[in-house]
Amino acid sequence: MDVIRTVSLGEKVDLLARLLFYVPLIFTRETIKTTMIAVQRGLPVKEYMAATVVRTLMTCLTERQMLYLNGPTSQTYQTWIEKEAKTRNLCPVKDTVILVDGTTKLHWIRRTEEKASKVVLLFHGGGYYIPIAPGHLNWCSSIINASGSTKKNMAAAVLEYDLTTQAKYPRQLQQATFALQHLLKLGYQPGDIFIGGDSAGGHLSLSLLSHLMHRHPSVPSVDISGPLAGAFLISPWVNDDCSTASFKENAWIDMLPHKIIPGVATFFIPSHIRKAESDNKQGWSMAQDANGDWWRTLADVVSNVYITAGEQELFRDHVVILADMLREHAPKCKIRFELGVGEGHDHMLLWEMLHYCENPALRRLDEWFVTILQE
C-alpha cells in the first residue's frame, strides 16, 4: 500500500507542528554546535549547515513523515527524467519494469534506447526509510557519461526497494536478488554488471555480496558464472555499534544523528534475526558481524570493490575496519579505499543537494569506473 496515501489528518497536523516549532528549536541548537566545530576544524560551514538540516529533520520527524515530505522513489525518478534527462544527454524515456515478484520496480536510466553493454545496479541510501533523492540519479548520469570516454555504453538500473514502513529485512535483500536475476536474464554477464550504493545502499550491496557467497536461507539463490565487475560502497552502514571514536568525535558535525542509529537498526532488522545472525557470525544483516573467513571468497563474486568514508563521519571507524578486513581476507579482490578529507557521511550526496558544479567525491567514483572499463 502507498504509505503517502495512508498518512492521516492527525499525522499531517503533527508534521506541521513539528516543522513550525520542534524543528526550528532543534536546528538552532544543532547549528550552534556544528558551526563551532566546523570553524574549529577548518571545515566549510555552508556544507555542514546543509548536513545540519538533514540531521535535524532525521531527528525530529518520523519515518512516515520523512516519506511524506520526500515522495516515493518512482515519483522522484519520473520527475528527474522529465526535467534532467535531455540536459544531461540521456534518453528522456521513462522505463520502469516490474520484477518477478510482481511488485518491485526497477527504473532505467540510459544514454540511448538501445541496450547498453554495461550496467550499474544502484541501491540508494536513506536508512531504509527515506526514498531516493534526485542526487542519486545525478550520480547515475555522471557514471553513464563518464563511461562514454571508454567507448562503453553504460546504463543504470535503479532499484525501488520496500522501505521499512512497508517491509523489514530480509525483504530488501530479496528485491536486490530479483534485480540481479533480471539483469542476468536480459543477457548481461556478471562481468558487465556493477552494483553499489550509499549508506543503506552500501549495506544492501554488502548483503547481496554476502548472499552470493553464502546463500541466505530466506532469499532465492543466484547462480553467476563469474564475478561481478565491481561494487561501490559509499559510506556504507556495516555495524550498529555507536561506541567508536568516530561516533564520539563527529556526533555534532555529521549528517547522521547519532542517537537514532540503534533505533533505525531495530526498526529495519527484527531483533531475533539480528541476534541469530550476530551469534552465528553471519554477515547478511551487518557486514561486521562476520569474521574474516566469511569474506575469503569475495573475489569469486566481485572483481573490484570501491569503498569510501568521510573523515568527519560517524561511520568512519567502522568503514576503515571493513576495508582492512576485506584487504586481509580477500586479497584476490581489488579493494580501493578512500578517506575523504574534510568530508562527512555521504558527502557525495551532500554536494549534489547543494547543486555544486564540482563534486570531488563523485569525480573519484567516476574515475574508478573508467579505470575498470579501460582494463
| pLDDT tens sequence across 321-366 | 999 999 999 999 999 999 999 999 999 999 999 999 999 999 999 9
Q: Domain locations in the chain?
A: 1-70, 71-373
Q: What is the mean pLDDT of residues 178-189?
A: 99
- Among the residues of the chain, which ranges form H helices? 9-17, 23-41, 45-60, 63-70, 73-84, 134-147, 171-185, 200-213, 245-249, 261-268, 271-279, 298-301, 316-329, 347-353, 360-373
Among 369, 372, 73, 127, smallest CA distance to 236 is for 127
Residue 117 DSSP SS3? coil
Q: pTM for the complete prediction?
A: 0.97
Residue 306, C-alpha cell as written in the block: 570501491
Residues 293, 329: contact at Cβ < 8 Å? yes
Residue 28, C-alpha cell as written in the block: 538552532
Measured between alpha carbons, how far is 124 from 126 in angstroms, rounded to an integer?
Answer: 7
CATH class in words for 71-373: alpha beta
Q: How confident is the model at residue 6 (pLDDT cuts 50, 70, 90)?
A: confident
Query: What's the pLDDT at 3?
Result: 64
pLDDT at position 179 over 70: yes
pLDDT at position 180 over 90: yes
pLDDT in tens, 226-241: 999 999 999 999 999 9
Q: What is the mean pLDDT of residues 187-202?
A: 99
Among 298, 284, 282, smallest CA distance to 335 is for 298
Q: What is the mean pLDDT of residues 311-316?
A: 99
Rounded to an integer, what is the distance from CA 154 to the centroid of its chain?
20
Q: What is the mean pLDDT of residues 66-85?
A: 96
Strand partners, 118: 154
Measured between alpha carbons, how far is 116 from 137 in angstroms, rounded to an integer?
Answer: 17
pLDDT at position 1 over 50: no
Query: What's the pLDDT at 2?
Result: 62
Residues 265, 318: contact at Cβ < 8 Å? no
